[in-house]
Amino acid sequence: MKKWVGFSLSLVLLASMLAGCAANKTSEGNHNKKADGEKVSLKFSIWGNDTHKQMYDAMIEKYKVDHPNIDVEIMTIPATDYQQKLSVMMASKTSPDVMWMMERAIPQFLGAGQLADLSSLKSDAAYKFDDLYPSTLDLLTKDGSIYGIPFSTPPNMIYYNQSLFESKGLKTPKELYGEGKWTYDEMVKAAEAIAEPEQGLFGVNLIRPNGWTTSWIESLQTLVWAFDADYFSEDGKTFTLNSKEGEQAIQFFSDAMFKSRIHPKPGDQTTFETGKIAMQQELFSYMGKAKAITDFKWDIAPMPSGAGGQGVTLGYAGYVVTEGSPHQAEAIELVKYLTNQENMAITSQFFVPSRQSVLESETFLNQGPSPESVKTAVLEQIAKGKVRQAFTNFQKIDEKMKIGFDSIYTQSATVSEFLKSLEKDITPVLNP
């Protein structure tokens, strides 16, 4: 009898051990998800403005109805400092649980193994993973696994002050584009007809607000491509801007600032909504601010063409989760919520969505000044656009490029001298 009791006890202990192992495996499979009801605080970083934050605040309040134990703190970090600050936070293990991630930063963090695998979303039938455009996932895919979900893939475009064009009797960029005549030469003609630099009125601004320090990559890539040039070779090992086409592109930019004076000078923060800029290069995310304009009529148009075409640049941003976050399961659930069809429709008021069902919806077409304008300036341009080149050591490259462009902004060197000097300084960084 004692032997039977002992045997029974052994079975109970064995069953307990197996149950414990199963529980551990389940826990691991759920990325250590907390017990239901346990309080969890997530940090979510963005580089957006107050309007974007308010939108997320409203979405998160709705999320808390079904997830009352989840608190989400939104951290706003300036775009110019975003990658560097996240690098420091990653190193000190204080990084946010969920992050916006821009295209130029993805290779660094993905290559370092700092982004969590989100491939589980593929098999979630309710999530409708197949609704995401496959091409938008390329930057966040490694060895067949998904490490983020894109939420914004916008082509850059021109916002223009229609009232200024009408006051001068000029054809608008959209009209010229429809006639197949929208070129950089036509942009200059219109800008010269409108600009009154002594009065602070400019014909064109290629630099996005607060983007002077990152202008080479944020604002001027399209111009460089349109002039049939590029900064670097496809393998990223050679500086290629020091060419006839590259010199023409940078000379165009320099002349616009200092010769014809149709473009604001370095550091000038005049914004489109003041009515003092006739044509402003921007992304779809600017739409929220533009909609608040009541002092003049405005519209959007595609970028003009040059010898190399339009050079359309696609912006890119995705949600990622920090690998090793103590709240990884909850963070993944939040990403799942933010990128479902309903919420991507909400964020599409500022961001060009990666879900086909949202991008092709009437709701999205009505986000802009008119469905026709959105079709022309956004939908038709996505297929033509390219994502800017990215590097694992982008921060070092960015530092050298910023220093180099200072000589253009201060006019301390000719364009030819600038290109030769920059090639000499940047080449060692491209080939460490």
- Residues 302-317 have pLDDT tens digits of 999 999 999 999 889 9
User: How many CA atoms lie within 13 Å of 425's alpha carbon, on the beta-carbon side?
Assistant: 16
Choose among 222, 417, 239: nearest CA to 305.
222
pLDDT of residue 7: 36
| Same domain, residue pair 401 and 331 | no
The residues facing 99 across adjacent strands are 45, 320
Q: Torsion angle of alpha carbons 412, 417, 421, 427, nearest 10°?
A: 140
| Same domain, residue pair 276 and 375 | no
How many independent structural domains does the chain possess? 2
Q: In this structure, which amino acid lies at residue 72?
A: V
Q: What is the DSSP string of 7-29?
A: HHHHHHHHHHHHHHHHHHHHHHH
Tell me which residue range forms the domain holding 92.
40-154+315-382
pTM here is: 0.81
Angle between helices 415-430 and 394-409 (to 10 degrees): 170
CA–CA separation, 325 and 314 (whole Å): 30
Q: What is the pLDDT of residues 80-109, one digit of tens each?
A: 889 999 999 999 999 999 999 998 899 999
pLDDT of residue 87: 94
| Same domain, residue pair 113 and 228 | no
CA–CA separation, 160 and 164 (whole Å): 9
| Same domain, residue pair 45 and 106 | yes
Asked whether residue 30 is domain-assigned, the answer is: no
| Same domain, residue pair 257 and 233 | yes
Query: 57: domain CATH number?
Result: 3.40.190.10
In which element (H, E) is residue 149 found? strand 149-152
Asked whether residue 388 is domain-assigned, the answer is: no
| Same domain, residue pair 75 and 123 | yes
Asked whether residue 425 is domain-assigned, the answer is: yes
| Same domain, residue pair 57 and 163 | no
pLDDT of residue 21: 42
- Residue identified by tokens 């063409």 is 305
| Same domain, residue pair 378 and 252 | no
pLDDT of residue 1: 41
Q: Which residues of the chain, if any, have pLDDT below 50?
A: 1-32
| Same domain, residue pair 304 and 321 | no
Asked whether residue 255 is domain-assigned, the answer is: yes
| Same domain, residue pair 399 and 378 | no
Neighbours of 300 (CB within 10 A): 24
pLDDT of residue 11: 36
CA–CA separation, 74 and 60 (whole Å): 10
Q: 385 is written with which tokens?
A: 């656009």
| Same domain, residue pair 194 and 286 | yes
